[in-house]
Amino acid sequence: MAETIIFQSLPARPAPVNTEGLVPWVKNNLFANWQSTLTTLIVGGLLLFYIPQFINWAVLTATTVPNADACRAEGVGACWGVITEKYRLIIFGRYPFEEQWRPLVATILMVALLVMSCTRMFWKKWLVAVWIVVLAAFFILMYGGMFGLTEVQTDRWGGLPLTIMLATLSIVLCFPIAICVALGRRSNLPAIRTFCTIYVELIRGVPLISVLFMASFMFPLFMPAGVTIDVLIRVLVGVTLFAAAYMAEVIRGGLQAMPKGQAEAAASLGLSYWQTQFKIILPQALAMVVPGIMNNFIGLFKDTSLVYIVSLYELTGSLGLALNSDADWRPYKLEGYLFIVAIYFAFCFAMSRYSLWIEKQVNKSKLR
């Protein structure tokens, strides 16, 4: 038998042409061929032309002095003075000026609660208790009439607190409805399936604004004589019912993706229908659709801007409130819009990043 040769591996060496780092990146991504080079030159040229102009307007020649005369001066760009002057009105709407610390604290609490709920570390039983406590605190702070806080009627609530409250409450309240409807659409009882299908298709077929009109014009007619319900609550009910239909579809997607074997295994262990759904199917299905739920929430957050059309003063509405009747500042509405655009963008962008991250987590756990 021949002698065994000991295998000697050739040492690895770096590639002869550099393929990583800035220079190759620029070469491959900006100047790969003549088409790419041309595109880079044109697009880059346009950017170089417009971005400095924008910066000039928005920063270099802008003024932040809360004085309309300063804004009218020659050569002044953006007039951020309108924000420094009116930001409390824009953010808190018609809430009494001296009491505005209350919506501020309430909103901070609510946002903290939302951030907490998005953190896996806090996904424990007691989170439910925290929710109840924070929501109670939110309403006590906003409405008052207790602990020496003066009472503030709901028609004076407005701005960012209202936006956040509407979005959060309706997404939370719509959950139980959505779960029932989603289960109902998959039920094998025809009457229940039909009702749920009609509900979902009906709501998803009409624009939110028609639901809001319903809440504000028709709802009062629905109630027995003498019963009046606060417009805020009516709108909240409308938005919740609207959101529930969309949420039900997201949840149904999760239910459908569950392999049949899970329900069969549960049944073979003797679990009842509700036990099977709540202990086996729903926990898994919901975990699968967290990104979808998150996207729904972002949509709802943006959609709350519509309540302005039925005269609730959330961010968009309170901007109108702040500027429309003030001839000095009215010309600077664009700056005002950009301010609330920035607020909305900050919230929605953060949420969509979170949604992407959670989607990756879900996919990872699917691979396992």
Partner 1 sequence: MSVAPRTPPAKRDWSWRSQAFRGLLYQIIAVVIIGGVAWWLATNTAENMRVRGIKSGFDFLTQPAGFDIGESLSKFDSNDPYWKAFLIGVSNTLRVAILGIILTTILGTLIGVGRFSRNGLVRGLCQAYVELFRNVPVLLQLLMWYLLFTEFLPDVTEAKRIGDIYLSKGGITFPKPIWETGHLFGVAGLLAGCVVAWFYRRWARSKFEATGQVRSMFWVPVAIVFALGVLGWLVGGAPSQFAVPAKGEFAVEGGGALTPEFMAVLLGLTLYTAAFVAEVVRSGISSVARGQSEAAQALGLSKGQEMQQVLLPQALRVIIPPMTNQFLNLTKNSSLAVAIGYPDVVSISNTALNQTGRAVECIALIMLVYLTTSLLTSFFMNWYNAKSAIKER
Partner 2 sequence: MNEATDNIIVFDKVNKWYGNNFHVLRDINLNVRRGERIVVCGPSGSGKSTLIRCINRLEEHQEGHLIVDGTELTDDVKAIDKIRKEVGMVFQQFNLFPHLTVLENLTLSPMYVGKMPKKEAEEKAMTQLKRVRIAEQAGKYPLQLSGGQQQRVAIARALCLTPKIMLFDEPTSALDPEMIKEVLDVMVEMANQGITMICVTHEMGFAKAVADRVIFMDQGQIVEQNTPHEFFNNPQTDRSKDFLSKILGH
Can you tell me the distance from the alpha carbon of 307 to that of 317, in angstroms, rounded to the nearest whole number?
Answer: 8
Can you tell me the distance from the alpha carbon of 338 to that of 81, in angstroms, rounded to the nearest whole number?
Answer: 13
DSSP labels, 97-108: GGGTHHHHHHHH
Query: Within a 10 A sphere around the Cβ of 145, how many other Cβ atoms?
Result: 11
Number of residues that bind partner 1 (CB under 8 A): 55
Query: How long, in residues, is the chain?
Result: 368
Closer residue to partner 2 (CB): 19 or 150? 19
DSSP labels, 17-54: S--SSHHHHHHHHHSSSHHHHHHHHHHHHHHHHHHHHH
DSSP labels, 206-228: S-HHHHHHIIIIIHHHHSPTT--
Residue of the chain from 302, 328, 358, 362 that contacts partner 1 (CB under 8 A): 302
Query: Within a 10 A sphere around the Cβ of 287, how many other Cβ atoms?
Result: 14
Interaction of residue 33 with partner 2, rule CB under 8 A? no
**Minimum CB distance to partner 1, residue 59 (Å):** 18
Check if the beta carbon of residue 296 is closer than 8 Å to that of residue 246: yes
Residue of the chain from 218, 233, 257, 265 that contacts partner 1 (CB under 8 A): 218
Can you tell me the distance from the alpha carbon of 26 to that of 45, in angstroms, rounded to the nearest whole number?
Answer: 16
Q: Which long-range contacts (CB under 8 A, 24 or more apart) does 333-337 make?
A: 335/78, 335/79, 335/80, 335/82, 335/83, 336/82, 336/83, 336/86, 336/90
**Minimum CB distance to partner 1, residue 344 (Å):** 5
**Minimum CB distance to partner 2, residue 25 (Å):** 12
Helix (H, G, I), strand (E, B) or coil at 332: helix
**Minimum CB distance to partner 2, residue 12 (Å):** 4
Check if the beta carbon of residue 90 is closer than 8 Å to that of residue 340: yes
Binding mask 335-364 for partner 1 (x = CB under 8 A): --x--xx--xx--xx--x------------
Q: What is the radius of gyration, based on Cα positions, of the chain?
A: 28
**Minimum CB distance to partner 1, residue 328 (Å):** 15
Residue of the chain from 305, 326, 328, 358 that contacts partner 1 (CB under 8 A): 305
Residue of the chain from 309, 326, 359, 362 that contacts partner 1 (CB under 8 A): 309
* CA-angle at 252, arms to 235 and 120, nearest 5°: 80
Check if the beta carbon of residue 62 is closer than 8 Å to that of residue 71: no
Can you tell me the distance from the alpha carbon of 123 to that of 163, in angstroms, rounded to the nearest whole number?
Answer: 25
Binding mask 3-22 for partner 2 (x = CB under 8 A): -xxxx-xx-xxxxxxxxxx-
**Minimum CB distance to partner 1, residue 362 (Å):** 16
Sign, CA torsion 247/253/255/258: negative
Residue of the chain from 11, 16, 21, 205 that contacts partner 1 (CB under 8 A): 205
Closer residue to partner 1 (CB): 152 or 164? 164
Can you tell me the distance from the alpha carbon of 22 to that of 41, in angstroms, rounded to the nearest whole number?
Answer: 18
Q: Which does 18 bind (CB under 5 to 8 A by kind): partner 2, partner 1, none?
A: partner 2
Closer residue to partner 1 (CB): 143 or 344? 344
Closer residue to partner 2 (CB): 16 or 224? 16
Q: Which of residues 271-300 bind partner 1 (CB under 8 A)?
A: 298
Interaction of residue 1 with partner 2, rule CB under 8 A? yes
Contact window for partner 1 (CB under 8 A) among 5-13, 29-37, 72-80, 106-114: 29-37
Q: Which does 7 bind (CB under 5 to 8 A by kind): partner 1, partner 2, none?
A: partner 2
Residues of this chain that bind partner 2 (CB under 8 A): 1-2, 4-7, 9-10, 12-21
- Judged by the rule CB under 8 A, the positions of this chain that interact with partner 1 are 25, 28-30, 32, 36, 39-40, 43-44, 47, 188-192, 195, 201-202, 204-210, 213-214, 217-218, 220-225, 298, 302-303, 305-306, 308-309, 316, 331, 333-334, 337, 340-341, 344-345, 348-349, 352
